[in-house]
């Protein structure tokens, strides 16, 4: 039976949801996918690290209380930084779930680079390294016979990358667009009902959907990072988030959108990437979408992306609800795919 050893770097909302899912689905993973998973090391910024060459199963790791409580029984403490942890952990795959830095992609990029250089594949839900260093990391993985997968990076567990890879061979995407930042779209839907930006943002924070620094959402940085990942991975561009034409929820954008507004329209913060000859242009902007547009019908928290392709025409993927559970599924799907590819 194939067995993957995982090193877990970062264990917050998504890391804990992944452990819970692996624990709950361990029988299904074994019976349906012929796969077992164990964790051979863990590290977080404040809890520190541990290494257990024999591996700890997900249920036992959750039961240990780590990272809030002590490391699991039998584990050796690890005191180095993230890069040293990745190099030393006796694992087949690094699961990188540290917090996003949209401006640099660090230190997650260094973590993934260290994994690919030390005989490990890498799975991440962190879009920073994919936005800032996709080509380098992809080529490094290929050179070293490893895999790099990041299904959750843009649409939580909704399988945008897996679908394009598995189901759209020889396809050229001319344009993609969609409301991809749930906080901005939630805030806009509340503002359209007459709430102030501050009150609408407090609502998003109460729901736990806003980034720790809400300016990442409202000024369009989160959406710009997503636009960059989609452009680079699906349309072979080589952009960085700073290359994206970015419009946040500032006064000017809101004034323009209010002018375009009509009863059947919905305000959205949109990501759009367009192929224009040899150039790929990415932008984030506020728009009042008509009700006839399928993306205009998405409710405040829903996200979606529509691809315009030369094979299938238009294809729209809608995510009903995103969160740590869905994101954990994307990471688990990546692990299953890596186990399959390594056979």
Ligand X SMILES: NC(=O)c1ccc[n+]([C@@H]2O[C@H](COP(=O)([O-])OP(=O)(O)OC[C@H]3O[C@@H](n4cnc5c(N)ncnc54)[C@H](OP(=O)(O)O)[C@@H]3O)[C@@H](O)[C@H]2O)c1
CB 178 within 8 A of CB 172: no
**Which of 8, 11, 93, 337 is in the footprint of ligand X by CB under 6 A?**
11
CA 69 to chain centre: 27
CB of 114 to ligand X, least distance (A): 12
Closest contact distance (angstroms) between CB of 226 and ligand X is 10
Nearest approach in angstroms of CB 287 to ligand X is: 24
What gap in Å lies between CA 3 and CA 164, rounded to an integer?
27
Q: Mask of contacts with ligand X, 141-160, x by CB under 6 A?
A: -----------x---x----
- Check residue 225 and report its DSSP letter: H
From 20, 23, 47, 281, residue interacting with ligand X (rule: CB under 6 A): 47
Residues between 183 and 222 with contacts to ligand X, criterion CB under 6 A: none
DSSP state of 64: H
SS3 230: helix
Stretch that binds ligand X, among 38-46, 228-236, 274-282, 310-318 (CB under 6 A): 38-46
DSSP states along 200-221:
HHHHHHHTT-S-SSTHHHHTTH
CB of 327 to ligand X, least distance (A): 4
Please, what is the minimum distance in Å from the beta carbon of residue 265 to ligand X?
28
- What residues does 288 pair with on adjacent strands? 267
Taking the complex as a whole, the smallest distance from the CB of residue 279 to ligand X amounts, in Å, to: 29
Sheet order of strands, 279-289 included = 245-246, 279-289, 266-276, 173-178, 303-309, 314-319
Q: How far is the CB of 263 from ligand X (least distance, A)?
A: 33
Of 97 and 298, which CB lies nearer to ligand X in the complex structure? 97
How many residues in the chain?
Answer: 343
Contact call for residues 186 and 203 (beta carbons, < 8 A):
yes
84 near ligand X, judged by CB under 6 A: no
Longest CA–CA span in the chain (Å) reads 64
Q: What φ, ψ does residue 76 adopt, rounded to 5°?
A: -95, 135
Piece of the chain touching ligand X by CB under 6 A; list 97-105, 134-142, 190-198, 285-293: 97-105
Nearer to ligand X, 194 or 208 (CB): 208
Among residues 303, 152, 174, which one has the least CA distance to residue 234?
174
Site track for ligand X across 222-251, x = CB under 6 A: ------------------------------
Q: Considering beta carbons, is residue 90 or 323 the nearer one to ligand X?
A: 323
Residue from the set 5, 6, 7, 15 that interacts with ligand X by CB under 6 A:
15
Question: Binding residues for ligand X, how many (CB under 6 A)?
Answer: 26
Taking the complex as a whole, the smallest distance from the CB of residue 325 to ligand X amounts, in Å, to 8
CB neighbour list of residue 109: distance below 8 Å, 6 or more residues apart = 128, 129, 132, 133, 137
Task: List interacting residues with ligand X (CB under 6 A).
Answer: 9-15, 43-47, 82, 97-100, 107, 125-126, 152, 156, 322-324, 327
């Amino acid at each position: 039976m194939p067995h993957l050893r995982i090193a877990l770097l970062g264990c917050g909302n998504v890391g804990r949801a992944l452990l819970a899912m692996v624990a709950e689905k361990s029988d299904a993973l074994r019976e349906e996918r012929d796969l077992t998973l164990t964790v051979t090391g863990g590290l977080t910024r404040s809890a520190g690290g541990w290494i257990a060459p024999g591996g700890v199963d997900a249920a036992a790791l959750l039961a240990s209380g780590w990272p809030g409580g002590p490391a699991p029984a039998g584990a050796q403490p690890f005191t180095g930084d993230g890069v040293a942890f990745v190099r030393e952990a006796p694992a087949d795959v690094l699961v990188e779930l540290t917090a996003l830095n949209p401006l640099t992609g660090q230190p997650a990029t260094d973590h993934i680079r260290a994994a690919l250089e030390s005989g490990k594949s890498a799975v991440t839900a962190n879009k920073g390294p994919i936005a800032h260093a996709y080509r380098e990391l992809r080529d490094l993985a290929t050179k070293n016979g490893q895999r790099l997968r990041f299904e959750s990076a843009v649409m939580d567990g909704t399988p945008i990358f897996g679908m394009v890879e598995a189901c759209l061979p020889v396809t050229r995407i001319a344009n993609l667009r969609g409301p991809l930042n749930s906080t901005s779209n939630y805030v806009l839907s509340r503002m359209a009902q007459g709430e102030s930006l501050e009150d609408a943002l407090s609502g998003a924070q109460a729901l736990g959907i806003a980034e720790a620094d809400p300016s990442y959402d409202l000024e369009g940085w989160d959406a710009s990072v997503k636009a960059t990942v989609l452009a680079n991975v699906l349309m072979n561009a080589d952009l960085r988030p700073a290359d994206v034409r970015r419009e946040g929820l500032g006064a000017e954008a809101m004034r323009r959108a209010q002018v375009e507004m009509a009863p059947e329209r919905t305000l959205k913060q949109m990501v759009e990437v367009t192929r224009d000859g040899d150039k790929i242009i990415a932008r984030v902007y506020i728009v009042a979408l008509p009700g006839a547009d399928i993306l205009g019908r998405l409710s405040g928290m829903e996200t979606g992306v529509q691809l315009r392709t030369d094979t299938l025409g238009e294809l729209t993927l809608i995510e009903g609800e995103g969160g740590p559970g869905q994101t954990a599924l994307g990471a688990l799907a990546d692990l299953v795919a890596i186990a399959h590819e390594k056979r």
